[in-house]
Amino acid sequence: MRMAELYPVGGKTVLGSHLFTAEDIIRYARQFDPQPFHVDPEAARHSLFGGLCASGWHTCAGWMKTFVAFWTAEYVRLKKEGKVPPELGPAHGFRDLRWFRPVFAGDTITYSVTLLETREQASRPGRLIDTILCEGVNQNGEPVIRFESTVMEFA
Amino acid sequence: MLCFEDFPVGRRFDFPSRVMTAEEIVAFATEFDPQPMHVDEAAGKASVLGGLAASGWHTCAVMMRMLCESYIDRTAGEGSPGVQSMEWKRPVLAGDTLSGHCRVVEARVSRSRPEIGIVRFVADVTNQRGETVAVCDYANMIRVKATEAAADAHG
């Protein structure tokens, strides 16, 4: 099966939710993004953000985490139903990433994916390039992140 | 602290080098991107990536740490609105030593918030063979020198 048969172009699929605890935010940021508003609650209160918030890259990683969990479960489900799930290859990267709002300690982000476009590589039959829109909203329904990614699919 | 005025087009910041250990690759991927080629050496070798490979999001995270160490730690930064593009050009394998640099490609004062400058950079992350593994076109918000912002605010 192809992704477009499973998830029609333009339809949004909710992947799951992830709670960003203060502990996780600080642990990630100490390793990779130790700016004061990501590691120090007191300093964060005095920053433009107004409170401890996750590194934008942590918010991205949260999308990947929920996607992998979702796809792993889908893969099993499809096989159980006697269907042949598409194989996904590595992503080439992403573009138009926006961090709309900070993700504060205690926020729960619900992530989604939307297939925007799928096209066959003329030079390599059976190999498709999918463009997907990846999004996250907080518990108030406010968008916090979006980006577009290109993923290889082997039909 | 470095302010907006310290980021003219063309200014370059070199990254400190960092070894990507198998242990770190597996730890990051286990939490955020537990696909076989990121958590298991044999699976990585059998994949198109050719070895135990870091998640692209791990490469992003390590790049962020390099940005912090090369300029953000000493910059009056106010976060980032987003990333225009991120290209994962080559796999990052266990044992690789990453380094690289970033360069200012555009700098302008925000129209809506004249106390903030928006600086666009292109980062080039390289491995120990000098090969580019990732290219990132991103922006930072950086405070305009306080005296000038105050003067502007008072007309």
CATH number for the domain spanning B48: value is 3.10.129.10
Instruction: List pLDDT tens digits, range A35-86.
Output: 999 999 999 998 889 999 999 999 999 999 999 999 999 999 999 999 999 8
pLDDT at B152: 52
Please, which pLDDT band fits residue A33 given cuts at 50, 70 and 90?
very high
Query: Among B57, B62, B136, which would you mutate to test the A interface (most chain A Cβ atoms within 10 Å of its Cβ)?
Result: B57
Please, which pLDDT band fits residue A34 given cuts at 50, 70 and 90?
very high
Nearest CA in chain A to B91: A90
Please check whether residue A127 touches B, CB under 8 A. Answer: no
Angle between helices A56-80 and B56-70 (to 10 degrees): 180
Q: Is the pLDDT of residue B34 over 60?
A: yes
Cα dihedral value B33, B37, B43, B46, nearest 10? 150
Please check whether residue A35 touches B, CB under 8 A. Answer: yes
Average pLDDT, chain B: 94
Q: Express the helix, strand and coil content of chain B in percent, nearest 5 each.
A: 30, 35, 35
Number of domains composing chain B = 1
Which residues constitute the domain of residue B36?
4-153
| Cβ–Cβ < 8 Å for B102, B121 | yes
Instruction: List pLDDT tens digits, range A101-130.
Output: 999 999 999 999 999 999 988 888 888 999
Identify the helix (H) or strand (E) that includes residue B45: helix B41-46
Q: Using CB atoms, which residue from B34, B68, B87 is nearest to A68? A: B34
Nearest CA in chain A to B38: A90
Interface of B with A (CB under 8 A): 31-35, 37, 48-49, 55-57, 60-62, 64-65, 68, 72-73, 77-88, 91, 134
Q: Using CB atoms, which residue from B64, B83, B134 is nearest to A97? A: B83
Give me the residues paired with residue A143 across strands: A137
Task: Indicate yes or no: CB of B87 within 8 angstroms of CB of A92.
Answer: yes
ipTM for the whole complex: 0.95
Please check whether residue A65 touches B, CB under 8 A. Answer: yes
Nearest CA in chain B to A57: B61
Q: Which domains does chain A have, with CATH numbers?
A: 3-154 (3.10.129.10)
pLDDT at B155: 43
Q: Is the pLDDT of residue B153 over 70?
A: no
Alpha-carbon gap: A64 to the closest alpha carbon of chain B (Å): 6
Task: Indicate yes or no: CB of A65 within 8 angstroms of CB of B62.
Answer: no
* Mean pLDDT for the stretch of residues B65-94: 96
Instruction: List pLDDT tens digits, range A133-150.
Output: 999 999 999 999 999 999
